[in-house]
Amino acid sequence: MAADLEFRQVDVFTDVPFTGNGLIVLFGSTAEVGARALISLTAEMRQFELIVADFQPEVGRVSARIFTAEEELPFAGHPVIGAAAALHERFTAGEPARSWVFVIAGREITVRSRRTAVYYEAEMDQGSPTLDPPLGQQDAAWFARALGLSEGDLHRLPMQVASTGLPYLIVPVTHGLDRAQIAVRDFEERLASVGAKFVYLFEPDKREGRSWDNTGAVEDVATGSAAGPAAAFLAAHGLAAQDETILINQGRLLGRPSVIAVTPDRLGHLWVGGPVAPVARGVLDRLPG
């Protein structure tokens, strides 16, 4: 399958290359390319996620698709942040700041990017968060065991599903962040039973989190789509002011420290973002298939 598609590799939520969350931004249209080919490409490039960004200046939109090595996602945070920075460099490098509208799975997302002394930074409007009622004791105990946690590791706050487009089960802990892991085979099915797509293990007192794919095989370095829900969780339980910019730390245990900023606006929307560092650029000779 012919390609000749250019790509940019960046690290997101950091201004230091080879830290933060790696990302491949593939420029151009892949409307005729099946999801399986782009999933294979993501695995080949050895990145947690890949985003296809097709900027259409005549309509002022960026048509985008997001992939992991397992599936196509309807939304994710760090690919949008990284793509906005890469698009700014590619198409509007002479402008100090720029607004974009990404269209992903039919959803429009407003993104802002700015040139910095190092490269670019970007933030996206994740919208208003939603929080489901706390999990019952039986479900909470199951998830604790499935993550290798004891009752003594858990925070006084409850487990809750929170979302700004992708629902996460927030599991608050006071201990065990460094030794937790997904230790059961039916984790994805149990998440679905409580209305969640992924888990976000979160230490509220340190504002640090961890997340994995649902097999536990791959840990995410920095999860932008979980940062908004985690910040909303803090505010809902009185651990952050309603107008406070919250910094979520992640990636330390992988040797790739990342910091995600979450800022509420006057409408109650959460803006999630951070710096982006450039790493590499290239051209694909072909796509799988």
Same domain, 263 and 278: no
pLDDT band, residue 1 (cuts 50/70/90): very low
Reference 226, options 126, 142, 81; nearest CA is 126
- Average pLDDT of the segment spanning 28-32: 83
Beta bridge partners of residue 208, listed in sequence order = 203, 249
Task: Say whether pLDDT at 50 is over 70.
Answer: yes
| 234 neighbors 204 (Cβ within 8 angstroms) | yes
Task: Say whether pLDDT at 2 is over 70.
Answer: no
Same domain, 143 and 260: yes
Same domain, 76 and 143: no
Question: Which residues constitute the domain of residue 38?
Answer: 2-126+274-286
| 99 neighbors 110 (Cβ within 8 angstroms) | yes
Task: Say whether pLDDT at 218 is over 90.
Answer: no
How many domains does the chain fold into? 2
Same domain, 8 and 99: yes
- Average pLDDT of the segment spanning 252-281: 96
Same domain, 73 and 16: yes
| 250 neighbors 210 (Cβ within 8 angstroms) | yes
Same domain, 119 and 166: no
Same domain, 31 and 106: yes
Same domain, 205 and 261: yes
Query: Quick one: 288 exposed, middle or buried, by C-beta within 10 A (0-12, 13-18, 19+)?
Result: middle
Task: Say whether pLDDT at 226 is over 70.
Answer: yes
- Average pLDDT of the segment spanning 187-193: 98
pLDDT band, residue 3 (cuts 50/70/90): low
Q: Counting runs of H as helices and runs of E as strands, what totals does the chain give?
A: 5, 17
Say which CATH number the domain at 261 has: 3.10.310.10
Same domain, 89 and 144: no
Same domain, 147 and 260: yes
Per-residue DSSP letter, 20: S
Same domain, 134 and 252: yes
